[in-house]
A and B are shown apart, each in its own frame.
Chain A
Amino acid sequence: MENKLKSVARRIRLLRSWKSLSIGLMVGAVLALIWVGLDYFSVVFTEIPFLITLVVGLGLIGAAIGYFRNLNPLDVARSVDSRAGLKDRLVTALQSEDDDDFQRKVREDAEAHLNDVEPKKAYPFRFGPWPGAAFGSILLAGAVFWLGNSTALASKNSPEAEKMKEAVAKVERVAKPLSEVKVDELGGKDEQRLANELQKMAKQLERNRLDPEEAKAKAEELGRQAQELTDKRMEQARAQMQSMQQKYAQEQLQKANITPEQLESMKLSQELQDLMQETRDGLDGDFQQGEQLDQQMLDSLNLDQATQEMLKMSQKERDAMKESLEQQINDIEKMLEDPNLSEQARKELSEKMKELQDLLSKVQYSEEVLKALQDLQSMEEYQELSKLMSEMQQASEQMQNAQELTDEEMEQLKQKIAQLEEQMEEFAKQMQDPEFREQMRKQMQEMIDAMKRGELSAEACKTCLGLMPGMSMGMPAPTPGGAYQGEGENRKNQDPQELKGQTDTKAVKGQRDPTKGTESYVEIKAPTTLGTKTSVPYDKVLPQYKDKAEKAMSDKSIPKKHEKRVKDYFNSLGGKK
């Protein structure tokens, strides 16, 4: 009897599995129906594969539960008694523990009747209420989904459908990378929210659920939000870069034992600037023929304009300046040899000569500075970094103008940027390498020693400190104060009266003087994630996508009286019409 019951039990498991499968399918279908309902009202958007996975998945789970759920032999006996009309013979045979002839007959009778039971007949697969409910729910969910996606009803070859398809593809192209933005300390939630909105809009366009007027209003709102987000992210990026620059520069200064007071004393004097101007005037036209220094590097040093120009002087100009200064010094020396010279005049001439000597040493220093900068330019690491920055900016610009790029090209660009980012990170790691840093430190120490020995000016020192991009402190260039070059002892002049140069504050810490020079920067258009990932600059791309989407819609159903309004609106977005 036990064996027979086992065979029946297997059948029961199958049947129970069928029933549970139906229940699972029905539950899945009900959930799908809810989902489809939400989709219908554009609360969420869903796709057929998701719905199928949901329904089938729950169905399979139900089937597994139904099959493997515990099955008691006594329950099987009860069920068989009930299903096969065995009049409780099996239950009595199993439950009664007497040992008499009646009990034996009960057992025999039960076995005889059980043998006559055909599991397939007693437990037939029926399309009962549960499968019916499951089937009905699936049909209902499918119908609602189908009705909610009217493009299924529209002709696929109609021009409106084609345009709509294009518009959807473009909006999705913007939305997809945005949705991949990671949430980090800079934010990312806003980007994702915007991406979701864009995707929602794309879905609505795709499913023809968006009224043109509504689409217009929504596009306007999204465009505004995108612009705000762009501004916000750019501001954040700038602030962060400045912060990083300052931090790094301070670290380097501390390691180089350079105090802020020492930096304060480094400033190009007014006299030298005047002299430079005179020299230029005298040379008349040769000024532009100076040494070719990387403007980006000069910008990163945050030097004032006069200093930059002096560094750009040609050798000819520099020689002319030196000759002029030496001539003036000689003239003064001759004048000082005159015994009839009054004490007052002698004193003034002496001071004037000192100033001229100072200026001469400045010009001589500039040669040192120039040499240091040239050395810097020739450094492999610097060249690599410059190249990376340049490529990154180029890629960023390409991304900004990428509205006409294909998906494939966009993907290549993204990969390239990601590659560049990796290289940047590699360089940053290299900078953290103790050996590399030691090498840098030695170079700086040599420069400082040279400065102390009077062989290198403070300007040159500052130049060295600004070797690396991002080290610029944005501090005013000080007047050289006490470093003399030439014979005799070096004397540091700390007397403020002797600091003839005027401090020309052109910038404050952390901010670039907008009136002078240029600034090296990588424009990272928001939304973006610094350091790890870049994405499509949607502020550039979005308006045009919206423009085309709107055009596609207007071709279809925008009333004539609204056409001008629509056109004006998209013109107002700033995108190219």
Chain B
Amino acid sequence: MSENASINAEQEAQWFRDTWAKLRDEIGKVIVGQDEVVEGVLVCLAANGHVLLEGMPGLGKTLLIRTLSQALDLSFSRLQFTPDMMPADVTGTNVLSEDASGKREFAFRKGPVFAHLVLADEINRATPKTQSALLEAMQERQVTVGGAHYSLPEPFLIMATQNPIEQEGTYPLPEAQMDRFFYKINVPYPTKKDLAEVVKRTTGTVTSEAGKVASGADVLRARKLIGHVKVAEDVLNYALQIVVATHPGGEAAPISEQYCRYGASPRGAQTIINASKVYALMNGRFNVSRDDVKKAAKPALRHRLLLNFEAEADGIGADQVVDGIVQFVESQGRDPVGA
């Protein structure tokens, strides 16, 4: 009997739904509002992807990942990127150490990347060299220092942040690195109501702390589970149509032709499908729907589109382009029975 057949779909799906609901609720105890951001981060966690958060300072990005680590009871580290930061400051380095017998040898001292949850704060302030130090960690889940490979712990999630303003003295992330982020989530300002709640919670005497509701093993179990979620050919085609429509010169949507220099890579399609599976499970379904794909499209593609000058001149952002693409693809489909 195969491994697949041994899974009790009903129970597993229910467990996933419950666990992720608990996680969300627990995070919600600390993070006020920002539901989409929280949900996006949880999707990335389940789908084994890294997340890039873009938003103004003070919107709770660090708090979010710290709360997540508390809820999952996982190790957490924070990297505050600065222009003078070196790769070794991220990955760790070999240092000369002396043991009790007086023998000296190089020993690897792990960097902050060796944690389950890593917050790479203001990642665009580091030099490309330092940024690139994260590439291997993100993709291969390992670090190579002095010819030796060091595996990163599982589950491993990098949550990078960047500030949309104050672009002076920053180093925009190269496309290769951007592509390695599963999601790019824009962190909006809280609403007045949410802000009031934030103020109340942080200025009083009572502070909220997240308790442990799941574990790293649960995360790994969830990652296995999403592979079983079914995707119909039609839905897969729908997702692929969206990705292909981002490619100028091909079967692109008109808006892509106008505003895109480069479209999404195959990682974009993988991301959309994986994220859709997570959404399906979160919604108690065993199959991916078009709505899941649509929901995943924007955070999965917005950082993978390289817009041209015309887009910048017209004030068109990646989100608008993705919206246009989705609309274009939707318009292609007709009622198959013609009723």
Are both chains from one complex?
Answer: yes
Interface presence of B337 (CB below 8 A): yes
Which residue of chain B has its CB nearest to the CB of A15?
A: B339
Q: Are B7 and A101 in contact (CB under 8 A)?
A: yes
Stretch at the interface among B106-114, B119-127, B136-144, B231-239: B231-239
Tell me which of A12, A71, A88, A100 contacts B287 (CB under 8 A).
A88
Which residue of chain A has its CB nearest to the CB of B225?
A: A102
Q: How far is it, in angstroms, between the C-alpha of A66 and the C-alpha of B232 when the chains are bound?
A: 28
Known: A101-B5, A101-B9, A102-B286. A92 touches B230 (CB 8 A): yes
Interface size on B, residues (CB 8 A): 29
Interface presence of A123 (CB below 8 A): yes
Which residue of chain A has its CB nearest to the CB of B290?
A: A88
Q: Are B289 and A96 in contact (CB under 8 A)?
A: no
Tell me which of B2, B13, B234, B292 contacts A91 (CB under 8 A).
B234
Q: Are B289 and A87 in contact (CB under 8 A)?
A: yes
- Min distance, Cβ A187 to any Cβ of chain B, angstroms: 53
Chain A at the B interface: SS class:
helix
Q: How far is it, in angstroms, between the C-alpha of A93 and the C-alpha of B285 when the chains are bound?
A: 12
- Min distance, Cβ A383 to any Cβ of chain B, angstroms: 77
Q: Are B286 and A109 in contact (CB under 8 A)?
A: yes
Interface presence of A540 (CB below 8 A): no
Interface presence of A75 (CB below 8 A): yes
Q: Mark A80-104, 1 if CB is under 8 A from B, else 0.
A: 0010000111011111101111111
- Min distance, Cβ A7 to any Cβ of chain B, angstroms: 14
Q: How far is it, in angstroms, between the C-alpha of A139 and the C-alpha of B13 when the chains are bound?
A: 57
Q: How far is it, in angstroms, between the C-alpha of A569 and the C-alpha of B283 when the chains are bound?
A: 92
Tell me which of B286, B288, B290, B291 contacts A105 (CB under 8 A).
B286
- Min distance, Cβ B332 to any Cβ of chain A, angstroms: 14
Q: How far is it, in angstroms, between the C-alpha of A75 and the C-alpha of B292 when the chains are bound?
A: 21
Known: A92-B235, A102-B228. A12 touches B5 (CB 8 A): no
Q: Mark B173-201, 1 if CB is under 8 A from A, else 0.
A: 00000000000000000000000000000
Q: Are A78 and B336 in contact (CB under 8 A)?
A: yes
Within 8 A of B (CB), among A30-69: 66, 69
Interface size on A, residues (CB 8 A): 34
Tell me which of A12, A71, A91, A99 contacts B235 (CB under 8 A).
A91
Interface presence of A19 (CB below 8 A): yes
Q: How far is it, in angstroms, between the C-alpha of A76 and the C-alpha of B285 when the chains are bound?
A: 21
Known: A87-B285, A106-B287. A92 touches B336 (CB 8 A): no
Q: Are B288 and A100 in contact (CB under 8 A)?
A: no
A-B contact count (CB 8 A): 94
Q: How far is it, in angstroms, between the C-alpha of A370 and the C-alpha of B335 when the chains are bound?
A: 97
Known: A75-B336, A96-B230, A106-B286. A87 touches B8 (CB 8 A): no
Q: How far is it, in angstroms, between the C-alpha of A160 and the C-alpha of B2 when the chains are bound?
A: 96
Which residue of chain B has its CB nearest to the CB of A86?
A: B289
Residues of A within 8 A of B4 (CB): 98, 100-102
Residues of B within 8 A of A15 (CB): 339
Residues of A within 8 A of B337 (CB): 12, 16, 71, 75-76, 78-79
Q: Mark A100-118, 1 if CB is under 8 A from B, else 0.
A: 1111111001000000000
Q: Are B232 and A92 in contact (CB under 8 A)?
A: yes
Residues of A within 8 A of B289 (CB): 87-89
Most chain A beta-carbon contacts within 10 A, residue among B8, B9, B232: B232
Most chain B beta-carbon contacts within 10 A, residue among A96, A101, A104: A101
Task: Jot down 12 A-B pairs with beta carbons below 8 A, ordered by A.
Answer: A16-B338, A69-B338, A74-B336, A79-B335, A87-B287, A89-B287, A91-B234, A98-B4, A100-B9, A102-B229, A105-B286, A106-B230
Binding site for B on A (CB under 8 A): 12, 15-16, 19, 66, 69, 71-72, 74-76, 78-79, 82, 87-89, 91-96, 98-106, 109, 123
Q: With contacts A78-B234, A88-B234, A89-B289 known, what are 19 further pairs, Cβ within 8 A?
A: A12-B339, A16-B338, A16-B339, A66-B338, A69-B338, A79-B337, A88-B235, A92-B231, A95-B234, A96-B232, A96-B287, A100-B5, A101-B4, A101-B9, A102-B9, A103-B230, A104-B9, A105-B13, A106-B287
